[in-house]
Amino acid sequence: MGGTGIAVIRGDGIGPEIMQATLRVLDSLHCGLDYCFVDAGMAALEHQGELLPQATLEAISRCGVALKGPLTTPIGGGFSSLNVELRRRFDLYANVRPAISFPNTRARYSGIDILTVRENTEGAYLNEGQTVSPDGETAQSIIRITRRGSERIVRYAFELARRRGRRKVTVVHKANIMKTTSGLFLSVAREVAREFPEIECNELIVDNTCMQLVMRPEQFDVIVTTNLFGDILSDLCAGLVGGLGLAPGANIGSGAAIFEAVHGSAPDIAGKGIANPCALLLAAADMLDHIDRVEQGKRVREAIRATLAAADRRMTPDLGGSGGTESFADALIERLQTRAAA
Ligand code: ATP
């Protein structure tokens, strides 16, 4: 004991398999983590009779950091999405999605390293205010942007850029048309940007951003934007680097941060031992950055990069290997240990 406490939720489907591989890799780094294993999703429903037990919420609050496998939310279980519920409970206002191009993948460009920082709590994704007229002819919903919401997400993006030594933050908006909502976001972003003179800041309209990302992605470093635009842009960025197979995500609030793979529980391959653990491992690497183990986080990413570059046969089938989840972890651990010994 005495290390940094991490709440670990193994998750559903392939979750336990990729979590086991991820923890083995983390353990090989000896970075002083104390795991607190708790359940959520179907695993929690089976063992404890509820999808999101109090003990799980308490462990996340206590540790302040969680590593989470994919969760299945059953229909009729009282939640439309457990992931959304966790974001709401802990006010996880920043959704951070890195897109990094790795060798020997379906990445469309090499050298991409983009961080999308998406506001996670307001904008076009409010539950309230969604109505359809009685005749079914007209539907409407509310888009709400607040100064507080805009300020904290933009400040988070700039602080992240500063901590990670990033050079540039692009503020993405549609203030030319959505003059009130996107307009407020943009004007607050301009104010916050002035506090970070060493970081270049530019503004880009969302439609142009999509085109620029596809045509010249190398111009992007950190992107900060509102909820709906961020949702779309982060998947666009994932597509640029070959899809969701290697896509980690983090949901960050002031009291808690949850790190996860973006993909789902993959029930079609669960239990077969062939799930690719990389997205969760990359999420774990971002978690290590978050808890000031930046060197170890970097080593995990480098080990993945080198293993992919070598086209190691022990990789999982989705990456062209003939191995499985555990043999992939073995290959990564071997690389980490060789480098540590060198
Ligand atoms: P859910 O309902 O939990 O979102 P899903 O099957 O709809 O599950 P994903 O779990 O993201 O969505 O899976 C989409 C496809 O990608 C599936 O064919 C799945 O096998 C594959 N897949 C997802 N994650 C991985 C992984 N880590 N390794 C290999 N294949 C994966």
pLDDT confidence of residue 77: 74
Number of neighbours of residue 62 by Cβ within 10 angstroms = 11
Q: Which CATH number fits domain 113-240: 1.10.3210.50, 3.40.630.30, 3.40.718.10, 3.40.50.2020?
A: 3.40.718.10
> How far is the C-alpha of 32 from the C-alpha of 30, rounded, in Å?
6
Q: What is the pTM of this model?
A: 0.94
CA distance 185 to 222: 17
Model confidence at 2, pLDDT cuts 50, 70, 90, reads low
Same fold, 1-97+243-342 and 113-240: yes
How many CB atoms neighbour CB 29 within 10 A? 21
List Cα–Cα distances, 25 to 67, 84, 226, 326, in angstroms: 14, 28, 35, 10
Choice from 72, 269, 278, 281 to test ligand 1 binding pocket (greatest atom count within 8 A of CB): 269
Bridge partners, 169 (sequence order): 201, 222
CATH topology for the 1-97+243-342 domain? Isopropylmalate Dehydrogenase (3.40.718)
Annotated active-site residue in 39, 93, 174, 286: 174
125 included as an active-site residue: yes
Q: What angle do CA 137, 139, 145 make, to 5 degrees?
A: 160
Ligand 1 midpoint to CA 263 (Å): 6
217 in Cβ contact with 112 (< 8 Å): yes
| Average pLDDT of span 108-129 | 93
Q: In this prediction, what percent of the chain has a pLDDT beyond 70? A: 98
Number of H helices and E strands in the chain, helices first, is: 11, 12
Average pLDDT in the 3-8 region?
A: 94
Domain boundary assignment for the chain: 1-97+243-342, 113-240
pLDDT, position 126: 86
Tell me if residue 39 is catalytic.
no
Residue 3 pLDDT exceeds 90 = no
pLDDT at 240: 95
User: For residue 144, what is the DSSP state?
Assistant: B
Of all protein residues, the one whose alpha carbon is nearest to atom 4 of ligand 1 is 264
Sign of the torsion formed by the C-alpha atoms of 334, 339, 340 and 342: positive
- Measure the CA–CA gap between 13 and 273, rounded to whole angstroms: 11
Neighbours of 78 (CB within 10 A): 11
CA 3, CA 296: separation in Å to the nearest integer? 15
Does the beta carbon of 252 lie inside 6 Å of ligand 1? no
Active site residue 298: no
Per-residue pLDDT of 253-310, as tens digits, reads 999 999 999 999 999 999 999 999 999 999 999 999 999 999 999 999 999 999 999 9
What's the pLDDT at 342?
65
Which ligand 1 atom is nearest residue 318's CA? 29
pLDDT digits (tens, 9 = 90+) for 162-215: 999 999 999 999 999 999 999 999 999 999 999 999 999 999 999 999 999 999
* Beta carbon of 276 within 6 Å of any ligand 1 atom: yes
Instruction: Please report the pLDDT score of residue 80 as a whole number.
Output: 76
* Cβ of residue 263 lying under 6 Å from some atom of ligand 1: yes
Quick one: which H or E segment has residue 162? Answer: helix 147-163
Q: Is the CB of 318 under 6 A from ligand 1?
A: yes
187-206 in b/e form (b: 16+ CB < 10 A) is: ebbeebbeebeebebeebbb
Q: Is 101 helix (H, G, I), strand (E, B) or coil?
A: coil
Tens digits of residue pLDDT in 52-101: 999 999 999 999 999 999 999 888 777 778 988 999 999 999 999 999 99
